[in-house]
Structure 1
């Protein structure tokens, strides 16, 4: 786990903008590794042990699981934090955009991932690039403090 700029990691609320990246292509147990990576970042930034930090871990789990199940795997998890928000991005190798279900149906498994992401984050979306896409979610820093 290294900051993007290559300098030392800081501990405490993000001053300026901080980015952490975790490569996950071909990594077994990537959901658990992504959650652990996120948990450490939240702790370092002073955003651990709150209800919203637990929600954040669930958002990470859902985004990683969706990439694994529907986009042939996850390439990278990127966390970007500043004084206003935490942005979670999961990169995969497909340009096909996810289509959220209207609302999950009782008793029918699946189709809840993006519904959960939408409910727990302040906003979410996607962006494509040549080799794939990123599905992202943002959570206000004020909710994490």
Structure 2
């Protein structure tokens, strides 16, 4: 379980990089694989940062892999689901996290925690870079 916001983004990125290495996504043997790993780390930063900014920090960070896909889940205590804000200029800072998810993740969304728990889980999925082995099974 994660608590607060201090250092949590870098801890989640480090954990993700270690998991990707264990699962055979790193070291990358192609430019595409290297870019995909950077995309995954950016996506992790975005969803964890959003939990910090809008929900007091993440409560849980989960990675799963299988069938050529990586799934990232970040749960927090806020019942408010991500929603696209009014269009704004890409030149202005902030407010672009969902656009990053739309462009880099294969799929993403959010769901209520369920079972009477307050809060939500924001999830995203990314496909394994082509040309790589399958890594260790889940």
Number of residue pairs the alignment of both structures matches: 123
Q: What is aligned with 2:8?
A: 30
Matched ranges for 1:75-90 at <5 A: 75-90=59-74
Deviation at 1:144, TM superposition (A): 8.6
CA separation of 1:108 and 1:75: change in aligned 2, threshold 3 A:
same
SS where residue 74 of structure 1 aligns? coil
Matched ranges for 1:98-137 at <5 A: 98-101=82-85, 103-129=87-113, 130-137=117-124
The two structures have a TM-score, normalised by structure 1, of 0.78
Unaligned runs of 5+ in 1: 1-22
Q: 1:61 aligns with which of 32, 39, 45?
A: 45
Deviation at 1:102, TM superposition (A): 6.0
Unaligned runs of 5+ in 2: 29-33, 133-138
Q: Where has structure 1 moved over 6 Å in runs of 4 or more?
A: none
